[in-house]
Amino acid sequence: MDFTRLKAIIEDTPLHALLPYLEEDYLQGIRHGDFPRWRERLAALPRIQASSISLGDKVSIGDAGDSDDASLQALEQELREFIPWRKGPFDLFGISLDTEGQSNLKWKRLEQQISPLTGKKILDVGCGNGYYGFRMLEAGADLVIGIDPHLAYVAQFWLLKHFTENLPTYLPIYVLPLSLEQMPERINYFDTVFSMGVIYHRRSPIDHLLQLKNCLRPGGELVMESIYVDGEKGYCLTPDKKYARMNNVWFVPAIETLIQWLSRCGFVNMEVIDRSLTNTDEQRQTEWMPYESLSHSLDPADSSLTIEGLPAPKRVVITATRPR
C-alpha cells in the first residue's frame, strides 16, 4: 500500500501521530496470522487498472472491458484466496462479489439521518474491508480513514484499492491495520466518527466511547451502531459464553443504557435514528462467504431467540455530538 499521499495529508495535523503506523517497519512487524502471505499475494495481483468506479449500493470498480479474459480469470482465482467476503456488495471488472452482508441496506437506513458528509474528515472504527468508506466518499467526504485490527479485512481493502490507482480522480480513502486503542491521545480531529458493529465486542465499552470521543473534534458527530436487547435503562445482557455463535460478545445494552453510557462519557444530543432487525436476506451464506451465517445463529423454531436461547439481536443506530 502506498501511503505517500496520506503522509502528506496528515503531516501538519494532529494525525501526524499516526505516521509511524504507515512505515514499512510497522507493517513488517505485524507477524501474526497470514498477513505476510497476504501482502505477498497483494504484491502479485494482476496489473489491470480500473477506468471507472461507481460508488452506489454495489461498489463497482472497473468493468470487464478494462481487462483481458486471462487476467480476469486470474483475478477471480485470487479473490477466492481472500474468502470470506463479509461486507459489500462489490463488483470488480464485472466479477460480482456477493458478500455475506448486504451492507448497502444498513447504509440506506442511516445515510439520510446523519450530518451530511460533504467535505468532512471521517474515521470509521472497525471498518472491515472498507465498504462503508466507499459510500462515505460517494456522500462527498474529503478524507476517510478506516481502522481495523482484523488483518484479513485490511488485506481485502488493499486489494480493492490496488485497482483504483489510475483513476482520473483520486480516492481519499485508507484502511490501516490498527485498533482504536492504538490511536494516539488527543486527536480531536475528525468531523464524524463511525463505530458500527464494534462496541459489544469490547470488554470495556466505556473506554471505547471515550476513545471515540478523543478522535472527534469538538462539535463533531459520533455514529454509533450496535446490537441491542429490549430492557430498561441500566439493563445490559452479558452472555454466559457465546451469543449468536460469537464468543467475543461482552455487553449487549438496552437502547436506554447505551444512551446513558454516551451521556456519562460526555456526549450530548443523542438521537436514535434507526432500529431494525437483521433478517436472513440481509446476512446470509453466499459463494463468497461459504461458512455459517445468521440463520445458523438463531433458534430454527423461534427467530426471536438466538441458538443459545438468548433474546435475538436487534440493531440500533444512535447519533451523538461531542460538545464544543
Which residues bind to ligand SAH, rule: CB under 6 A?
Answer: 87, 103, 125-128, 147-150, 153, 179-181, 196-198, 201, 225
Collapse the DSSP code of 36 into the 3-class scheme (helix H, G, I; strand E, B; otherwise coil) and give the result. Answer: helix
Residue nearer to ligand SAH on the CB measure, 74 or 151: 151
Residue nearest to ligand SAH (CB): 126
Q: How far is the CB of 181 from ligand SAH (least distance, A)?
A: 6
Rounded least distance, CB 33 to ligand SAH, Å: 12
CB of 48 to ligand SAH, least distance (A): 27
Burial class (CB in 10 A: 0-12, 13-18, 19+), 197: middle
Our CB check for ligand SAH shows the closer of 50 and 223 to be 223
Q: Which is nearer to ligand SAH, 48 or 193 (CB)?
A: 193
What residues have CB less than 8 Å from 205, skipping those under 6 apart?
199, 250, 251, 253, 261
CA 59/CA 62 separation, integer angstroms: 10
Three-state DSSP state, 322 = coil
Kindly tell me which of 121 and 208 has the beta carbon lying closer to ligand SAH. Answer: 208
The distance of closest approach from Cβ of residue 157 to ligand SAH in the complex, given in angstroms and rounded to an integer, is 11
- For 8, 161, 212, 320, 321, the CA distances from 218, given in Å and listed in that order, are 24, 31, 12, 12, 8
Kind of pairing between the strands at 59-61 and 90-92: parallel
Helix, strand, coil shares of the chain as percentages rounded to 5?
A: 35, 25, 40
Per the CB < 8 A criterion, the answer to whether 65 and 256 are in contact is no
State in angstroms the smallest separation of the CB of 232 from ligand SAH. 26
Element (H, E) at 191: strand 190-196
Shortest Cβ distance from residue 298 to ligand SAH (Å)? Answer: 18
